[in-house]
Chains A and B, each alone.
Chain A
Amino acid sequence: MTDEVDVLIIGSGHSGGMAAKILTGKGISCLMLNAGPVADIGKDTELRQAYTLPFRGFKQPGRLPHVFQSNEFNANTWVDEKEVPYTVTPGNQYNWVRVRLFGGRSLFWSRQSFRLSDYEFKGKSHDGFGDDWPISLADLSPYYSRVEEIFRVEGSTYGLPQYPDGNFVADDRPWCGSMQRFRAAGEKLGIPVCKQRTSLGIDGLASSINLLLPDAFETGKLKAIPNVVVRELRVNPKTGRVHEAHFVDRLSRREMSVKARVVVLAAGTLESTRLLLNSKLANSSGVMGHYLIDQIYGAGIVCSVPEARDGKTTCELMEGAALVPRFRNLQNRSKNFIRGYALNVSSSTHPMDPRNFAAYGKDLEDKLDSYSGSGFHVGIMGEVLPHYEYQVSIDKSAVDAWNIPALHINTRYTDNEFNMARDAVDTSMELAHMAGFELLAKNYDPNPPGYSIHELGTCRMGNDPKTSVLNKWCQSHDIKNLFVVDGSSFVSAGWQNPTMTILSLAMRASEYLAEQMRQGNV
C-alpha cells in the first residue's frame, strides 16, 4: 500500500482524463477516483425493440423526471436523483443531468467543438456586464490547437472574431441544397451561416476513455479506482495544504481515505463545488457556489422544405447541418438583451415527428407520408448571464445514498434569457420564410436551467482572491496544491459548447501544475 500518491484526480471525464494524460506524460504518478463503475458496451448493452421493454419505450414513470434526455433505452446510464438527490428553491426547477460511469459525460456528449472568443473572455470590456476572465483567447489558443488535434475537430475557417478558427480537419463537403437556401437568406440579413465544428474522435467516439485515458494508462503512471464516492477533502493544519481524501466504497459503503501531495478536482462543476463546500475548503472569497451559469436550449422551430416532399427528398437537398455563430450585440446593441446566441441548424431525409402536425388518423398518416424527408430544424444555444444570487449551497436536510449532504440549487432565467430566446425564434422564422420553408412548429420557451448539461462557473477564476476561487491556472487561491479543472472555473458561459474550453483549461492547468511540482513549489 502506498502512503501518499503524487496527484489525486477526482473524476474521469474530459477534464480528469486530460489532467491524467498530461501529468502522467510528464512522469507524475496519479491516482484517479471515480464515483461510478466502468461500463462494458459488450456486456452492458443490447440492441432491443421497444416492444420488448417493460414500458414500450416510454420513460419509466417517475424515474429521472429531470433528465429530459433519458428514455427507457438509456435510463441506466444517468444518475438517479433518488440516489444522489438535490434540492431547489420552490418554483425554480433545475435539471441536474449527471453520468457517473467511468468517463463521465464524455461518453455521451454531442461533440460540438467550439472555441470561446474574446467576446466571451473579455465580455465586461465589451458591454460592461459581469467580469472579464483573467485570460484571453490568445492565452488559450495554443491549448485549443492541441486539443483540436487530439479530438480531430472537423471544421471550416471563416475569419470571424466571434467564431475563432482553429486547428481543424478540413470540412470540404459541399453544402446541401436546403442549407444553401438558408445561407442565402442569412446573407440578406447579414447573419453568417457557417459549417458546424465537430470532434470526429475515433469511430465517432470522442471521449476521455478513448482519446485521453489510454495514453495515461500506457505510461504505467496512472492507477484508477472506480465505484468510490469522495466524501470530503481534508487539509493538514500544519501546512494549510490539502493532503487527504475521504471516500466511501459505492457498493459496500466501506469508509476509506488516501493521502495525496496534490489534488486535482475534475468531478464536474457542481460535484466539485459540492465536495469543496462539504469540505469547507478554499472559500475565503465567499463566492464559491455563486454565479451558476449554463446555456439556453429548447427554443426553436421546425420547418418543412416543400421541394423535399412527396418522395422527392435526396441527400443532396436535405442531408446537412450548419451553425449560425453569435451575431447579436457585436457592433450594435439589441434593444432588450445583452450578449448573444448561436443557432443549431439541421436538415434530414428522415421521417418527421407527428407532433409537427395538428392532425390525426388518416389525415396525419397522409401528412407523415408527404412530409417525410423534408424536415428542417433550428434551435438556440444562448448565453446565460452570471449573477451572484444564482448559486448552489449545501442542504444539510438532504443526503445521498452514502449520507453525503446534498446540493441546493437556486437559479432561474431572467428577462435577458427569455428575450434572447424570443429573438432567436423570431429570427429563425424570418430566415426560414426567406428560404421558402414552411413553418410547422415553434417554441419560445427555453428548457429549464441545467438542461444543456453545461453547468459552469461556481468556482470562478480571477486575479483577485477576494472575488474569485481560482487563479488563472485553475489553482485555488487559498490552497496551492488544489486545482479545479472542470467547468466550474468559467467566468462567463458564452453560447459555445464548453467542452473544448474545459479540455484546454485542464491541459493548461496540468502543465502548469507539473512545472510547479518540478520546481518544488507544490
Chain B
Amino acid sequence: MRRRDFVKAVLAASVSPKAMMGQNAPSAVAPSAPPPIHPKAAPLPAAGPVPWMRGLQEAKPLPMNALVPDAVARTNAHFFSDRQIATLRQLCEILLPPLKKSPGAIDAGTPEFLDFLISVSPPDVQQMYVSGLDRLDAEARRKFGLPFTAVNVSQADELIRPWLRTWMTDHPPSDPYEKFINVAHSDIRTATVNSKAWNDAMATDADRRSEEGLYWYPVDPDVTQIYQRRS
C-alpha cells in the first residue's frame, strides 16, 4: 500500500462510529452557525460510508396522500388562440354537458387539458384541430351570422350532427373536417371520462367509471440517457 493510501485508511478507521453518524446525532450548535475551522486544524477525515443513507433507509414513509394537480388547479391554456379555445369550450359544452350525476367536459377541465395535449402533439394533429376549430366558427358565422360561441343548442346541432359518423378503432373518417369533428368528440369524451372530476363522481358506477389499468413503469429506464448521449 502506498503511504498516502495507508494514512487515509488509518484516518478513516480512527473515526468513531458516533462521528460517522454525526449528521443524525443531535447537535448543540445551530446548523445556521457552524463553528469556524481553525486554519491549523487537522484535515477532515476521509469520507466513510455515506451516513445519511442509513437515515433514509430507516425513515418512515410520510403520512401523505399525494394530490394530482387537477384536484386543486386548472390547466393554463396557451396553444390555441382566444377564439379557438372559446370555440373548443363551446364544443365541449355541446358534446358532453353535465348529465345526471356525471360532470360535463367543462367541469373536467377538458378544453384546457386538450389545449395542453394538442400543444405537444405532432404537427398534423395540431393542424387538424386548428383548422377544424376555425372552420367550425366560420361555418357558424356564415350560417347564422354568429360566432360558434354564441349559437344556441339547436343551431349547434345543425353545425355538428351532419358530420357525425360511426367508426372503428384506428379508422376515423378520412375527410379532414369530418375527421376533426369525430376525433375531437372522442378526445373530449376520453379526456372527460378519464378526469379526476369524473372519477370522483362516478367511482361506484361500474359501467361509467374512469379507466383503470396496469401501469408499467420504465423497466431499466436508460433510453433518455441514450438519447442525450447521441444528441
* Interfacial residues, chain A to chain B (CB-CB below 8 A): 36-37, 39-40, 44-53, 55-58, 61-62, 65, 68, 71-77, 80, 82-83, 101, 227, 250-251, 298, 300, 302, 351, 353-362, 365, 372, 401, 440-443, 445, 447
A50 and B171 within 8 A (CB): no
Q: Knowing A61-B125, A62-B120, A77-B216 touch, does A360 contact B199 (C-beta < 8 A)? A: no
Asked if B138 is at the interface of the complex by the 8 Å CB criterion, the answer is no
Q: Knowing A56-B113, A57-B194 touch, does A62 contact B94 (C-beta < 8 A)? A: no
Nearest CB of chain B from residue A2's CB, rounded to whole Å: 25
Closest to B183 in A: A355
Q: What DSSP secondary structure best describes chain A's contact surface?
A: loop
Q: Knowing A44-B216, A46-B215, A57-B190 touch, does A51 contact B70 (C-beta < 8 A)? A: yes
Residues of B within 8 A of A227 (CB): 220
- Distance of A240 Cα from B171 Cα, bound (Å): 50
Most buried by A among B95, B160, B164, B211: B211
Asked if B122 is at the interface of the complex by the 8 Å CB criterion, the answer is yes
Which among B185, B186, B212 is the interface contact of A47 at CB below 8 angstroms?
Answer: B212
Asked if B223 is at the interface of the complex by the 8 Å CB criterion, the answer is yes
Q: Encode contact with A along B181-223: 1 for CB under 8 Å, 0 otherwise.
A: 0100111011100111011000000011011111111111111
Residues of A within 8 A of B47 (CB): none
Q: List 21 A-B contacts (CB under 8 A).
A: A36-B219, A48-B215, A49-B199, A49-B211, A49-B212, A51-B194, A56-B113, A56-B117, A57-B190, A58-B187, A61-B121, A77-B216, A80-B223, A227-B220, A354-B186, A358-B166, A361-B95, A362-B99, A372-B207, A401-B230, A443-B168
Q: Encode contact with A along B65-97: 1 for CB under 8 Å, 0 otherwise.
A: 000101000000000000000000000001111
- Distance of A357 Cα from B165 Cα, bound (Å): 7
Closest to B198 in A: A51
A358 and B165 within 8 A (CB): yes
Give 17 A-B pairs besides A56-B194, A365-B100 with Cβ atoms closer than 8 angstroms. Answer: A36-B220, A46-B215, A50-B194, A50-B212, A56-B113, A57-B213, A61-B122, A62-B121, A71-B213, A73-B215, A73-B216, A75-B216, A298-B171, A302-B166, A358-B165, A441-B166, A441-B168
Q: What DSSP secondary structure best describes chain B's contact surface?
A: mixed
B219 and A76 within 8 A (CB): yes
B99 and A445 within 8 A (CB): no
A355 and B215 within 8 A (CB): no
Number of interface residues of B (CB under 8 A): 56
Residues of B within 8 A of A46 (CB): 214-215, 217
- Distance of A445 Cα from B190 Cα, bound (Å): 24
Most buried by A among B70, B170, B196: B170
- Distance of A442 Cα from B44 Cα, bound (Å): 77
A355 and B190 within 8 A (CB): no
Nearest CB of chain A from residue B224's CB, rounded to whole Å: 10
Asked if B167 is at the interface of the complex by the 8 Å CB criterion, the answer is yes
- Distance of A401 Cα from B222 Cα, bound (Å): 11
Asked if B227 is at the interface of the complex by the 8 Å CB criterion, the answer is yes
Asked if B42 is at the interface of the complex by the 8 Å CB criterion, the answer is no
